[in-house]
């Protein structure tokens, strides 16, 4: 039952019996194989049916791959509960929609629709977008939801500029309720409340799932952790797999404290560490391990390579971002001339804006490349969003956001005045789109009245088609034909920006056809409703990518998570870029983990570049090499290696080639070398020391502050009366407090 070629630690993780299990799986340690082998072991060992294990993955792509690989090894088995937290939540909510309560075919709205709804709410109360930024409001509402804070709780604790945001939060939620819609954060928050408040539903799933396995556990947020606890049986039938060194999604609410505190929160947990890296060469593993070992709060892991030799990690200093792009382009061409493919190579950077010099240089030099914006770009095209709005209305007639989008698209004489009347009707009495259009027609005359009635009639027919199980391709074609959308699009678009729009319509129809070819009936669901859910969740998934043609990949580090390439170029290893500028130690720690993730994408070679000057956002500044470069051992790097210059500032100013920085230190450059001995800083020669000993026993503890409320400790330093805690409070972010003055009540 256990594959013979697994190493001892992998076998231990696969065969663990009894009690919770934490598998620490660093980059390249064979994590996916362990996850699949453990699932197969549990199925075979206990004879469980396919629906008795809940497996949660970070991306939908990972879920599909997992199911495919299990089915290939065990053709009789096809696990039915495998997906992301969002897709699992959507499925559970639809299964119990009447008890939530929600329409069974509720709409999942994306970020663009969220923003539009907030704009509409601001316009309704007469507040301009200059006075209140819709994107900021959208972000604040997301943070409140991720922290489990209701509109009422937000309103009670908000003052000043947050007062308007909390009021809009309540109005936004009410609008979602009336439309039978949820946003992505709502999927998790609504499920948490459902499981907390409905014992019958909670126990149904607790009894169904004999075991729960969560992959990429380091990237769970507070709501996802609550879901895990609510679904598990006394926190005993749980396996979590992850790597605290790869926790890089704090901006999305992920909390590395969950994996750090797992042994305490799940009593009796067994901990298994996978220490063998099967992906990268020895120099890459050594360099990445040394860099991440300087992190403040982490599980200590001694990674070892399988012994493959390779070139040292190359460090290269360039004059500017254009010189950087040319160097990388020339290096790529050299690799291709030696037998590599373009698709074997990737350029990684911290921010999307850094891609611009590479795009221009690669285009000029004839190097094929791809970015990861293609999927998002397709679904953000106007014509695609228009047709999807028609499709959503066919499934959910309460979706008034979609009705507002297509009311006069193509033009049918239902302009701004008709829209204002429609919004007034919707506020006075909740109704379906068809009912509102019929009511609107009574208030109009001539062509406008006829158009409103015709659209209502078309909606009725489309709703019938969806209820009777017609697929998305047929309903899309119905709307394209009935509205004359494609003809209107071709006639109205005569610029270069309009080219290809009719092709996008046809591609959307083909997507519907491809979905229908693999559709298997689901209890109580329509194929068009499931298709829309698939599209909505796909757009939210950072791991969704298309096929990989022979092109170089230009990716942010976040986009590269979960991928690997033979050759990697990490660009922009500079202060204020990687790490990004921040005063928060926790942010710097996440930047260190981001650097580590970038390094460990490489299998055979890794080049890291930094520039003396760089233009960003229209401004040219002098740059300093990233502090993380100082942690790379000299024996495994080659090229331009910066070292920390701890001499007095008067001497540093006299040093040619010193690149000064705001931190009070300077970096100076040794002559380029091919092999360097360890020449980094030590505590006796100027390295900044920490604020006292690290106190890992405090990390992850739940505390209550008399003013700030409930929070969780993310960092702890010092002893006795000097114990300093970094606590993340719900809805407030991190506060740094001295424990002796904080008057904290410790709950866990």
Tell me: is residue 30 an annotated ligand-binding position: yes
Tell me: is residue 27 an annotated ligand-binding position: yes
pLDDT at 411: 94
Tell me the H-state helices in 232-373: 257-260, 262-265, 282-292, 321-337, 355-365
pLDDT at 516 over 50: yes
pTM of the model: 0.81
pLDDT at 252: 84
Q: What is residue 733's three-state secondary structure?
A: strand
If phi > 0 it is left, if psi is from -120 to 50 it is alpha, else beta; for residue 21 that is: beta
Q: Which domains does the chain have, with CATH numbers?
A: 8-100+188-274 (3.40.50.300), 107-179 (1.10.10.160), 292-372+549-639 (3.40.50.300), 377-540 (1.10.486.10), 701-746 (2.40.50)
pLDDT at 696 over 80: no
Q: Is the peptide bond before 410 cis (omega within 30 degrees of 0)?
A: yes
Average pLDDT on 452-480 reads 95
Average pLDDT on 312-335 reads 96
Tell me: is residue 702 an annotated ligand-binding position: no
Is 31 among the residues known to form the active site? yes
Is 246 among the residues known to form the active site? yes
Average pLDDT on 435-443 reads 92
pLDDT at 461: 96
pLDDT at 645 over 80: no
pLDDT at 369: 93
Residue 573 and residue 610 in contact, taking contact as beta carbons nearer than 8 Å = yes
Is 615 among the residues known to form the active site? no
Distance between CA 89 and CA 191 in Å, rounded?
Answer: 6
pLDDT at 494: 54
> Active-site residue among 32, 116, 204, 477?
32
Distance between CA 14 and CA 267 in Å, rounded?
Answer: 20
Pull the structure tokens for residue 255. 């909390």
Cα dist from 501 to 112, 506, 510, whole Å:
19, 9, 14
pLDDT at 748: 67
> Active-site residue among 601, 614, 624, 627?
601
Lowest mean pLDDT among 21-30, 84-93, 231-240, 613-622: 613-622
Distance between CA 138 and CA 267 in Å, rounded?
Answer: 38
Tell me the H-state helices in 639-720: 649-652
In the structure, what pLDDT confidence band is assigned to residue 71 with cuts at 50, 70 and 90?
confident
Pull the structure tokens for residue 58. 């970070």
Pull the structure tokens for residue 684. 């006796």
Tokens 């220490």 identify what position? 275
DSSP string, 394-463: HH-TT-HHHHHHHTTSS--S--HHHHHHHHHHHHHS---HHHHHHHHHTT--HHHHHHHHHHHHHHHHHH
Tell me: is residue 693 an annotated ligand-binding position: no
DSSP 19: S
Tell me: is residue 25 an annotated ligand-binding position: yes
pLDDT at 540: 64
Average pLDDT on 41-51 reads 91
What burial letters (b/e) apply to 641-664, b meaning 16+ CB within 10 Å?
A: bbbbbeeeeeebeeeeebbbbeee
pLDDT more than 90, % of the chain: 59
Average pLDDT on 308-331 reads 95
Tokens 């302009």 identify what position? 415
User: Which has more confidence, 622 or 675?
Assistant: 622
pLDDT at 382 over 60: yes
Distance between CA 474 and CA 466 in Å, rounded?
Answer: 10
In the structure, what pLDDT confidence band is assigned to residue 709 with cuts at 50, 70 and 90?
confident
Distance between CA 667 and CA 660 in Å, rounded?
Answer: 7
pLDDT at 710: 87
pLDDT at 686: 25
> Active-site residue among 120, 186, 215, 645?
215
CA 446 to chain centre: 50
Q: Is the peptide bond before 451 cis (omega within 30 degrees of 0)?
A: no
pLDDT at 660: 35
Distance between CA 267 and CA 414 in Å, rounded?
Answer: 62
Mind listing the pLDDT tens digit for each residue in 141-175?
999 998 889 999 999 888 877 889 999 999 999 99
Tell me: is residue 690 an annotated ligand-binding position: no
Is 32 among the residues known to form the active site? yes
Tokens 């994107």 identify what position? 135
Q: What is the mean pLDDT of the chain?
A: 86
Average pLDDT on 611-615 reads 91
pLDDT at 499: 61
Between vectors from CA 54 to CA 85 and to CA 372, what angle results, nearest 5°?
40
Tell me: is residue 700 an annotated ligand-binding position: no
Q: Is 452 exposed, middle or buried (0-12, 13-18, 19+ CB in 10 A)?
A: buried
DSSP string, 50-104: TTSEEEE-SSHHHHHHHHHHHHHHSTT---S-EE-HHHHHHHHHHHTGGGTT--T
In the structure, what pLDDT confidence band is assigned to residue 278 with cuts at 50, 70 and 90?
very high
> Active-site residue among 10, 11, 12, 31?
31
240 Cβ contact partners less than 8 Å away, ≥ 6 residues apart: 20, 21, 22, 23, 213, 214, 217, 259, 262
Cα dist from 644 to 342, 601, 641, whole Å:
36, 27, 10
Average pLDDT on 287-309 reads 89
Tell me: is residue 26 an annotated ligand-binding position: yes
> Active-site residue among 246, 354, 370, 545?
246
Average pLDDT on 599-621 reads 91
Pull the structure tokens for residue 174. 């009410």
Q: Is 334 exposed, middle or buried (0-12, 13-18, 19+ CB in 10 A)?
A: exposed
Report the 10 Å Cβ neighbour count for 186: 20
Average pLDDT on 299-304 reads 89
Pull the structure tokens for residue 670. 């040794």
Mind listing the pLDDT tens digit for each residue in 177-222?
999 999 999 999 999 999 999 999 999 999 999 999 999 999 999 9
pLDDT at 675: 30
Mind listing the pLDDT tens digit for each residue in 533-571?
988 888 666 545 555 689 999 999 999 998 999 999 999
pLDDT at 254 over 90: no
pLDDT at 162: 82
Average pLDDT on 42-51 reads 91
Helices 199-208 and 184-197, axial angle in degrees (round to 10): 100
351 Cβ contact partners less than 8 Å away, ≥ 6 residues apart: 556, 572, 577, 616
pLDDT at 649: 36
pLDDT at 228 over 80: yes
pLDDT at 362: 95
Pull the structure tokens for residue 436. 């509102």
219 Cβ contact partners less than 8 Å away, ≥ 6 residues apart: 58, 242, 247, 248, 249, 254
Is 216 among the residues known to form the active site? yes
Distance between CA 379 and CA 388 in Å, rounded?
Answer: 9
> Active-site residue among 216, 225, 574, 604?
216
Q: How many residues are recorded in the chain? A: 748
In the structure, what pLDDT confidence band is assigned to residue 721 with cuts at 50, 70 and 90?
low
Distance between CA 694 and CA 96 in Å, rounded?
Answer: 46
pLDDT at 689 over 60: no
């Amino acid at each position: 039952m256990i594959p013979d070629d697994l190493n001892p630690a992998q076998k231990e993780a696969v065969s663990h019996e009894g009690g919770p299990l934490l598998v620490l799986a660093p980059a390249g340690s064979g994590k996916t194989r362990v996850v699949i082998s453990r699932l197969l072991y549990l199925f075979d060992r206990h004879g469980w049916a396919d629906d008795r294990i809940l497996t949660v993955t970070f991306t939908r792509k990972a879920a599909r791959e997992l199911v495919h690989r299990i089915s290939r090894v065990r053709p009789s088995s096809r696990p039915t509960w495998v997906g992301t937290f969002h897709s699992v939540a959507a499925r559970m909510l639809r299964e119990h929609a009447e008890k939530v309560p929600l329409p069974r075919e509720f709409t999942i709205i994306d970020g663009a629709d969220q923003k539009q709804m907030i704009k509409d709410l601001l316009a309704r109360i007469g507040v301009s977008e200059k006075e209140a930024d819709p994107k900021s409001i959208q972000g604040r509402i997301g943070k409140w939801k991720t922290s489990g804070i209701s509109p009422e709780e937000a309103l009670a604790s908000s003052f000043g500029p947050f007062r308007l945001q909390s009021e809009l939060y309540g109005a936004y939620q009410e609008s979602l309720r009336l439309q039978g819609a949820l946003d992505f954060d709502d999927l998790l928050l609504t499920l948490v409340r459902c499981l907390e408040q409905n014992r019958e539903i909670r126990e149904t799933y607790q009894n169904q799932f004999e075991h729960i396995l969560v992959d990429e556990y380091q990237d769970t947020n507070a709501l996802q952790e609550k879901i895990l606890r609510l679904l598990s049986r006394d926190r005993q039938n749980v396996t979590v797999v992850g790597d605290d060194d790869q926790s890089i999604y704090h901006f999305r609410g992920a909390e590395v404290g969950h994996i750090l505190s797992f042994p305490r929160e799940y009593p009796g947990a067994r901990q298994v560490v996978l220490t063998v890296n099967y992906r990268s060469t020895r120099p890459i593993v050594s360099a990445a391990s040394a860099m991440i070992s300087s992190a403040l709060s982490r599980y200590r892991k001694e990674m070892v390579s399988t012994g493959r030799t390779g070139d040292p990690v190359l460090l290269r200093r360039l004059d500017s971002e254009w010189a950087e792009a040319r160097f990388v382009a020339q290096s790529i061409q050299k690799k291709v001339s030696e037998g590599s493919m373009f698709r074997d190579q990737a350029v990684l950077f911290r921010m999307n804006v850094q891609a611009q010099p590479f795009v221009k240089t690669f285009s000029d030099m004839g190097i094929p490349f791809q970015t990861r914006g293609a999927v998002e770009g397709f679904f953000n095209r106007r014509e695609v969003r228009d047709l999807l709005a028609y499709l959503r209305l066919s499934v959910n007639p309460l979706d008034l956001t979609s009705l507002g989008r297509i009311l006069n698209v193509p033009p049918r004489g239902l302009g701004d005045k008709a829209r204002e009347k429609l919004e007034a009707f919707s506020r006075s009495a909740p109704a379906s789109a068809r009912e509102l259009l019929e009511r609107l027609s009574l208030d109009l005359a001539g062509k406008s009245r006829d158009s409103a009635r015709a659209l209502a009639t078309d909606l009725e027919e489309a709703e019938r088609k969806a209820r009777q199980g017609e697929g998305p391709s047929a309903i899309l074609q119905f709307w394209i034909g009935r509205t004359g959308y494609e003809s209107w699009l071709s006639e109205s678009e005569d610029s270069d920006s309009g080219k290809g729009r009719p092709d996008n319509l046809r591609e959307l129809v083909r997507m519907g056809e491809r979905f229908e070819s693999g559709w298997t009936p689901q209890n109580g669901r329509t194929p068009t409703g499931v298709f829309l859910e698939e599209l909505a969740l796909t757009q939210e998934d950072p791991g969704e990518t298309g096929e990989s043609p022979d092109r170089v990949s230009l990716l942010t580090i976040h986009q590269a998570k979960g991928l690997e390439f033979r050759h990697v170029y990490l660009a922009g290893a500079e202060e204020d870029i990687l790490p990004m500028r921040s005063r928060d130690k926790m942010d710097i720690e996440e930047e260190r983990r981001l650097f580590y993730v970038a390094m460990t994408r490489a299998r055979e070679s890794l080049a890291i570049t930094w520039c003396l000057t760089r233009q960003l956002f229209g401004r040219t500044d002098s740059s300093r090499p990233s502090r993380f470069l100082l942690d790379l051992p000299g024996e495994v790097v080659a090229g331009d290696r910066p070292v920390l210059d701890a001499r007095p500032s008067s001497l540093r100013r006299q040093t040619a080639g010193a690149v000064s920085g705001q931190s009070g230190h300077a970096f100076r450059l040794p002559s380029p070398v091919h092999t360097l001995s360890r020449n980094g800083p030590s505590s006796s020669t100027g390295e900044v020391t920490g604020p006292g000993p690290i106190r890992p026993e405090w990390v992850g503890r739940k505390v209550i502050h008399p003013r700030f409320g409930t929070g969780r400790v993310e960092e702890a330093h010092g002893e006795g009366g000097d114990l300093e805690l970094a606590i993340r409070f719900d809805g407030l972010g991190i506060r740094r407090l001295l424990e002796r003055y904080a008057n904290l009540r410790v709950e866990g």
